[in-house]
Amino acid sequence: MPGEENKLQQPVRITLAIVLWALILWVLTLGMPALVPVAKALFIVFVLPSGLVEWFKYKGLVGKSRSVAVKILLMIVAALIWYFVYR
pLDDT, one tens digit per residue, over 32-51 is: 999 999 999 999 999 999 99
- pLDDT given for residue 51 in this prediction: 94
- Could you tell me the residue range of the domain that residue 55 belongs to? 10-85
For residues 28 and 61, is the Cβ–Cβ distance under 8 A? no
Structural domain includes residue 59 = yes
Q: Where are the beta strands (DSSP E) in the chain?
A: none
Per-residue model confidence (pLDDT) at position 6? 66
Is 5 within the bounds of a domain? no
Query: Does residue 20 lie in a domain region?
Result: yes
The number of distinct structural domains making up the chain is: 1
Residue 2 counted as domain residue: no
Does pLDDT of 7 surpass 70? yes
User: Is 29 a domain residue?
Assistant: yes
Position 25 in a domain: yes
